[in-house]
Structure 1
Amino acid sequence: MRPGRRGRTRAVAAVAATLLVGGLAFAPVAGATTTQGSERRSSLLRFWLDRLGNDRGGQVGQPGGGATQPAAPPEDDGDDGDGGAAPDGDCDAVTVIAARGTGEPAGTGFLLGQVSRQIDSRVDVPVTIVGLDYPAAAEFVNSPRQGVAELNRLVTAADDCLVLLGYSQGAIVVGDALAGFSSANGAKVRAVVMFGDPRFNSVEPYNEGSFGQPSRGLNPRRAGELAAFNDRIQNYCNGGDLVCQGSRNGGGDGHLAYGQFAADAATFAAGKV
């Protein structure tokens, strides 16, 4: 579908002016840096190193606390084929599902909200923007598993063409869900954009940004795991982002500097629907 007039947005989550990203207070004001902010950034990087492990298992914590239970598997649609089956035809409507980063308030998050609205402005069919309902909590077993289960539920129920967005912990959610999609669910996905992915692997052909070569995130995905979606993914990683570059290659504020790619990401996604 060709880019055109602004689509009719059916639902857009409100975005706070000041956000908490991975435990770091972040106001999107150019040039706003302080000693306290630097200390918080250092704490954030140490936090990721200490807390992000390799275990994708565990239990799913329910929003608001309380008892936990194992994550429900995706609904079986009876199709055991290739999860990345290519989509066909034009889209009559598009749903953008945004998985926010750690600690961001419920909704799309600041970065993914920008990208979502720019996608809406670039297509000429109705666009629905959904902030994925998952904890985005400061732990990396239960919270991502909750997100994967919820994303599977939404995709299985969806009738529209889908665009999936993930930032930081949300990129874990999106990537892990993609890896397990049936061919029916995979065919609904027109575009995927991820930023600051802790499971980044520099060998993938869909990577974008100033990342080092070779480099891997704090908990990298195995090479080729999402190969069925290669032509539908853009995965942005900044060279100064410890989360997607790992402790050997990261350093600085790269994890908070993905707004520069919002327009490019939106153009890519709009071009796929």
Structure 2
Amino acid sequence: VHFVLARGTTESYPGTPYSLASLVAQNTTLRTNYENIIYPAVSEDTSDSYFIGRAAVGAQMTAYARRCPQSQIVVLSYSQGALIVGDALAGGGGNSTLGKATPPLIPQDVAKRTIVFYGNPRHVQQQPYDFGTAGVKLVQGKYPRLPSQIRTFNERYSEITGDWCNVGDGVCSPSEGADALSLHMAYAMDYDTFAANWVLDKINAVRFR
């Protein structure tokens, strides 16, 4: 199992996704390793961090899949990391901050076993892969996806994706009101145990309690 970790804005490597990767690794007999997506992880509003990160996801994941085609790739991402992962997979851009709409950067034949988003800026409401307190709420991320991007993502990845969003987190559910930083920073504590079991199911490993 190869974990691809995409950290959030201002986090140092490996960031929030590492605790989830560690929990999964500790509870499977499968061999595991990980790599970080290498990108600045500074504000996408005032820098080219998003564009660098999106390109890095496409390049790194494609290169690894070609190099190790038998590995199971598990992508774990948080905040801006979820933004760049989702946009590399489904196509990016589509607004004034993220630029013009672009096609996916990762070929469909690049095998991915599991995708986890925590605090996803492009969270889409009422999807079968939505988890967290926003799972049954009509909330959208601060950068709503274009309908064509939603279709592409769902056709390719809906069965292997888990998207965790807390209602009130100003990144994944800004339509709910004020930006609540504490909710945006609570994903590992709130959901790692559940998400780890979910990932273990996806990689056909033994669940833990």
Which TM-score band applies after superposition, normalised by the shorter structure? 0.7 to 0.9
Instruction: Work out the CA distance in 2 between the residues paired with 1:183 and 1:167.
Output: 22
Q: Given the alignment, which residue of 41, 47, 57 partners 1:151?
A: 57
Distance 1:254 1:124 in 2: 33
- Of structures 1 and 2, the larger Rg is shown by 1
| Matching residue of 1:112 | 17
Q: CA deviation at 1:207?
A: 0.5
Asked whether 1:267 is paired with 2:197, we answer: yes
CA RMSD in angstroms comes to 1.6
- Tell me the TM-score normalized by structure 1: 0.61
Question: In the alignment, is the contact (CA less than 8 A) between 1:204 and 1:224 conserved in 2?
Answer: no
Map of 1:1-273 to 2, 5 A cutoff?
Answer: 94-105=1-12, 107-109=13-15, 111-140=16-45, 142-158=48-64, 159=68, 160-179=71-90, 180=104, 181-185=106-110, 188-211=111-134, 213-222=137-146, 223-227=150-154, 228-252=156-180, 253-259=182-188, 260-273=190-203
SS at 1:261's partner residue? helix
Identity of aligned residues (%): 30
Counterpart contact for 1:100–1:170, Cα < 8 Å: yes
Structure 1, unmatched stretches of 5+, are 1-93
Note if contact 1:232-1:272 (Cα within 8 Å) is conserved in structure 2. Answer: yes
Q: Is the 8 A contact 1:161 1:189 kept in 2?
A: yes
Aligned length: 176
- For the structure 1 residues 250 and 221, does the alpha-carbon distance in structure 2 shift closer, same or farther, using more than 3 Å as the test? farther
Contact preservation (8 Å) 1:97, 1:162: yes
Task: Give how far 1:251 is off.
Answer: 4.4
Structure 2 regions of 5+ residues with no counterpart?
Answer: 91-103, 204-209
One-letter code of the match for 2:140?
Answer: R
**Over residues 1-51 of structure 1, what are the superposed CA-to-partner deviations in whole Å (9 max), with x where a residue is unaligned?**
xxxxxxxxxxxxxxxxxxxxxxxxxxxxxxxxxxxxxxxxxxxxxxxxxxx
What TM-score do you get using the length of structure 2 for normalisation?
0.78
Deviation at 1:270, TM superposition (A): 2.0
Shift of 1:225: 3.8
Q: 1:213 to 1:163 in 2, by over 3 A?
A: same
1:52-74 Cα distance to aligned partner (Å, 9 max, x none): xxxxxxxxxxxxxxxxxxxxxxx
